[in-house]
Amino acid sequence: MSVELWTIFLVSLSFIAYLYIGWHTRAKGSADFFVAGRGVPSIANGAATAADWMSAASFISMAGLISFLGYDGSVYLMGWTGGYVLLALLLAPYLRKFGKYTVPDFVGDRYYSNIARLVAVVAAIFISMTYVAGQMRGVGIVFSRFLQVDINTGVIIGMIVVAFFAVLGGMKGITWTQVAQYGVLIVAYLIPAIAISVLLTGNPIPQLAFTFSDIVAKLNQIQVDLGFQEYTKPFANQSQLDVLFSTIALMVGTAGLPHIIVRFYTVPDVRSARFSAGWALLFIAILYTTAPALSSFARYNLIDSLHNKTVEEIQQLDWANKWEKTKLLTFEDKNGDGRIQLTPDKATSEITIDRDIIVLSTPEVAKLAPWVIALVATGGLAAALSTASGLLLVISSSIAHDIYYRIIDPNASEAKRVMAGRIMIGFAIAIAGYFGVNPPGFVAQVVAFAFGLAAASFFPVIILGIFDKRTNREGAIAGMLVGLIFTLFYIVGVKFYGMPPWFFGVSPEGIGTLGMAINFVVTFVVSRLTAPPPLEIQEMVEMLRTPGGETPPEAIH
């Protein structure tokens, strides 16, 4: 069968499985809808968390960024994995012990303020909509290449599938669907990585091949010969300060992501939260230790396959022609010599490669079997859809639970609360679809902005809310607003309105670190200049840090 037929078969098979799981595990009450009934086993929650967290950015775009940036691309590896460790050790057990449904729920109750809750809701929606834009772009890219439909149609198909198991199943349906999606995405990532590792180095273990073979030395020499910096040369694309800031922003942003934090509310108890964090870290590490190897293999194969080939030779490459139709890969013989050259100067380079196609195109470039190529496309969709569904539930619960139930109608029945959640998912999917059709950047870049916003808004108030009983509502509200507004202003100004990166050249991806620092300072100072929290809140914070079960509800309210 052709690649397209294999893709239709595997994608259809996976979609049928997702829809069946979503139907079979559909939510029957508000606890099922918002926190999966708090009955998810640790290992299953670990797999679901890994799938939720390893989005289209991890599967589709991260290896592409590392492939282009070389050493400097390691900020994504260090930031995202380090941030997950930070989340598992510092936040997850305490938030699970708190026993609420959402991050705004924690903020609203810990800071005894519906205004704080509203600010947290706004931050959660900003973060989630920015993040979901990257997922929908990933869905569109996969469909546009492998099913030969335009990106807009691909986004709409993805929206319909996500809508089904997210609206019907809520967190319960999403969780068990994500377990299946993790299995699909990790198999789809490892099989081509292992096959290409054998082809290029003779070693079937990509991590060992990357470390002990001569593939990186060869790639370094090729890069130098073409006028690029060595692949492993540090700080070739970013300053040391920007690398540091970007890494920290990704790290603390991970620890503040609402759709990941809420995963730890779905397990039975605090002990299960710790175990599920450990399982998730193991499942994440499998992909993240493979990514640097796959990035170098992809870079080596692309240069070898395309550079200095004649126009006629390029036209005979079926995979290149199909990717060219998507406009994510372009060729132009600018000097008219009949050959296509790759150069570091964009003005003279005759090959333009969108970073988001690197992982998806690599099996084709390496001439792997059609079913392997189709499997990678299926894995990319699994990664994008799993994260998109988690983000949509955050948006839904932020409005339906934290605004409708906790502020507007505290007496709303379970049926009303679940219906409000489902309606909100519908609205969120429509907005996500718009961003998928009109994406503001590369998948991983868009997602990096979300991490910056999470770092600047949630991380300080969660950390201080757990470890500093003197932090009060005035400080939390001021800190979140200042951190979020500053970071958003810098990102939008630099990215879309031509504002120079005036803070020592720090990129929009890294400015969340400064936003976080400003948030910490503002929260701390304002809290000390205003009245301390009520005594019962201070006692609740003390109880939160004491080993044991959930904090009793009477201590929270």
HEC-encoded secondary structure of 187-242: HHHHHHHHHHHHHHHCCCCHHHHHHHCCHHHHHHHHHHHCCCCCCCCCCCCCCHHH
pLDDT digits (tens, 9 = 90+) for 222-272: 999 888 888 988 888 888 999 999 999 888 887 777 777 777 777 777 778
Residue environment code for 278-313, b if the CB has 16+ CB neighbours within 10 A, otherwise e? ebbbebbeebbebbbbbbbbbbbbbbebbbebeeee
On whether the CB atoms of residues 328 and 141 are closer than 8 A, the answer is yes
H/E stretch holding 313 reads: helix 311-315
Please compute the mean of the pLDDT values over residues 187-208 and round it to a whole number: 93
pLDDT digits (tens, 9 = 90+) for 361-397: 888 888 889 899 889 888 888 887 777 777 777 777 7
511 vs 380: which has the higher pLDDT: 511
State how beta strands 339-340 and 309-310 pair: antiparallel
pLDDT averaged over the chain?
83
pLDDT over 70, % of the chain:
92
Distance CA 362, CA 196 (A): 9
Please compute the mean of the pLDDT values over residues 500-514 and round it to a whole number: 90
pLDDT over 90, % of the chain:
19
On whether the CB atoms of residues 442 and 65 are closer than 8 A, the answer is yes
The pLDDT, as a whole number, for residue 59 is: 80
The pLDDT, as a whole number, for residue 34 is: 62
Please compute the mean of the pLDDT values over residues 544-548 and round it to a whole number: 69
State how far the alpha carbon of 47 is from the alpha carbons of 52, 181, 282, in Å: 9, 9, 9
Place of tokens 């938030």: 95
The pLDDT, as a whole number, for residue 412 is: 80
205 vs 79: which has the higher pLDDT: 205
Residue of 284, 294, 314 lying closest to 358 (CA atoms): 294
Structure token pair of residue 507 = 């990129």
Name the range with the highest mean pLDDT among 92-101, 382-391, 413-422, 493-502.
Answer: 493-502
The separation between CA 170 and the C-alpha centre of its own chain, rounded to angstroms, equals: 20
State how far the alpha carbon of 426 is from the alpha carbons of 196, 247, 392, in Å: 41, 34, 9
The pLDDT, as a whole number, for residue 557 is: 42
What pTM does this model have?
0.81
Distance CA 172, CA 203 (A): 41
pLDDT digits (tens, 9 = 90+) for 534-545: 999 999 888 887
What would the DSSP string read from start to end of 49-70? HHHHHS-HIIIIIIHHHHHHHG
The pLDDT, as a whole number, for residue 96 is: 77
Q: Which domains does the chain have, with CATH numbers?
A: 3-295+368-454 (1.20.1730.10), 299-365 (no CATH)
pLDDT digits (tens, 9 = 90+) for 74-116: 888 888 888 888 887 778 778 777 776 677 888 888 898 888 8
| CA dihedral for 135, 137, 140, 142, sign (positive or negative) | negative
429 vs 467: which has the higher pLDDT: 467
The pLDDT, as a whole number, for residue 439 is: 65
The pLDDT, as a whole number, for residue 534 is: 93
Contacts 24+ apart (CB under 8 A), 544-552: 544/94, 544/97, 544/98, 544/466, 545/94, 545/466, 545/467, 548/97, 548/270, 549/97, 549/269, 549/270, 550/96, 550/97, 550/98, 550/99, 550/269, 550/270, 551/97, 551/98, 551/99
pLDDT band at 487 (very low <50, low <70, confident <90, very high): very high
pLDDT digits (tens, 9 = 90+) for 454-465: 888 888 998 999
99 vs 199: which has the higher pLDDT: 199
pLDDT band at 551 (very low <50, low <70, confident <90, very high): very low
On whether the CB atoms of residues 380 and 14 are closer than 8 A, the answer is no
Distance CA 190, CA 129 (A): 30
Distance CA 484, CA 478 (A): 10
Distance CA 407, CA 311 (A): 64
The pLDDT, as a whole number, for residue 29 is: 65
Inform me whether the pLDDT recorded for 523 exceeds 90: yes
HEC-encoded secondary structure of 71-132: HHHHHHHHHHHHHHHHHHHHHHHHHHHHCCCCHHHHHHHHCCCHHHHHHHHHHHHHHHHHHH
The pLDDT, as a whole number, for residue 30 is: 65
Q: In a 3-state reduction of DSSP, which class is residue 268? A: coil
pLDDT digits (tens, 9 = 90+) for 141-178: 777 777 777 777 878 877 777 777 667 666 777 788 88
State how far the alpha carbon of 532 is from the alpha carbons of 119, 458, 519, 537, in Å: 20, 21, 18, 10
Cβ neighbors of 128 (< 8 A, separation 6 or more) are 258, 259, 391, 392, 394, 395, 398, 428, 450
Q: In a 3-state reduction of DSSP, which class is residue 521? A: helix
On whether the CB atoms of residues 359 and 292 are closer than 8 A, the answer is no
- The residue type found at 79 is G
Total count of residues recorded for the chain: 557
The pLDDT, as a whole number, for residue 98 is: 78
Distance CA 394, CA 258 (A): 7
Inform me whether the pLDDT recorded for 547 exceeds 70: no
Distance CA 107, CA 114 (A): 9
Distance CA 125, CA 103 (A): 11
Range name among 23-37, 268-282, 350-364 with the lowest pLDDT average:
23-37
On whether the CB atoms of residues 288 and 61 are closer than 8 A, the answer is no
